[in-house]
Amino acid sequence: MMILTLRAYQIDEYVEHVIAKKFSKSLEDVKAIIHEILQDDIQENGRPSKRRVLTRSEFSGVREKLRTLAERILLHPLVTSATRYEQSLLKSELRGYLLAHIAQIEDSEQYFTKEIVPNGSFHTWVRTTGSSHVFVTFSLAYLQCLVKPSSNRPVTAEELYIIHDIWTHLAKKVRMENDRPSLQRDRKEKNLNSLDFPEFPEDASVAKNQITNIILYEKRRCDMAFKELEEKIGNGHQVLDVLRFYYVLTDVCGDVYTLRDISTKA
């Protein structure tokens, strides 16, 4: 997981410092490259399709960099030995993670040039672009590939649905915890923040109190889902233990972000 964290950091840095600055007028082309690299393995004449959508030389470096980063994740030995479903889910989450980074650039540009937030509500944004942009569901899909079957029984479709529901609530919680202390920095860097949405008041301290309540709501939803999952899957199941461990880590990170916000005010 430490290696994956490094990979995610490399993706963040590349998108922020290269794509956002050098290819801001060609983001549709960048999205096409992401779809090309991480396309589903559609069979053509019995062989996986490898469609190439752009050939212009100015995009060769983008394609190569993103392909290299993707292959370092998807071709990890423990990933390639995972089930086909787990590998497909990881590819889908990685694709969503990269596309959300591009969407964040587009949304930020729209907000800071036209003062327009993305269409729809804050809730819609935070459960789509906002939560996909953080490291949660992508890293959990990767972790799912690493955790090999034990003596525990396989999870059912219902249990897997609850697991993925926990992923979603965690991702929203983490995104808001990241944004809460970062409003001033994000506005300086012209990066769209959760608190920029019109649902929140202009008074930053009041807005932060309100988003804290929403974070606590998402935490309660996680706790409720964990309780139901434990009732169904049984305490001590490997999948439940790993997910709980990840949940504790996100809580620790959330506490660190909160303390950072408090120390900034001091």
DSSP 8-state secondary structure symbol assigned to residue 57: G
Q: Which residue blocks in 58-156 are alpha helix, DSSP H? A: 60-74, 77-80, 84-114, 122-125, 131-132, 136-146
Q: What are phi and psi of 43, to 5 degrees?
A: -80, 130
Which pTM does this prediction carry? 0.88
Q: What is the pLDDT of residue 43?
A: 42
Does residue 262 come out as left (phi exceeding 0), alpha (psi in the -120 to 50 range) or beta?
alpha
pLDDT along the chain (266 residues), means of 10: 79 89 92 90 46 64 91 93 94 96 95 90 95 92 84 86 96 94 92 96 96 97 95 88 89 67 48
- CB atoms inside a 10 Å sphere around CB 94: 24
Give the whole-angstrom CA distance, residue 49 versus residue 43.
6
Does residue 234 come out as left (phi exceeding 0), alpha (psi in the -120 to 50 range) or beta?
left
Which residues on neighbouring strands pair with residue 48, listed in sequence order? 43
The H or E element that residue 48 is part of is strand 47-48
Q: What is the pLDDT of residue 52?
A: 54
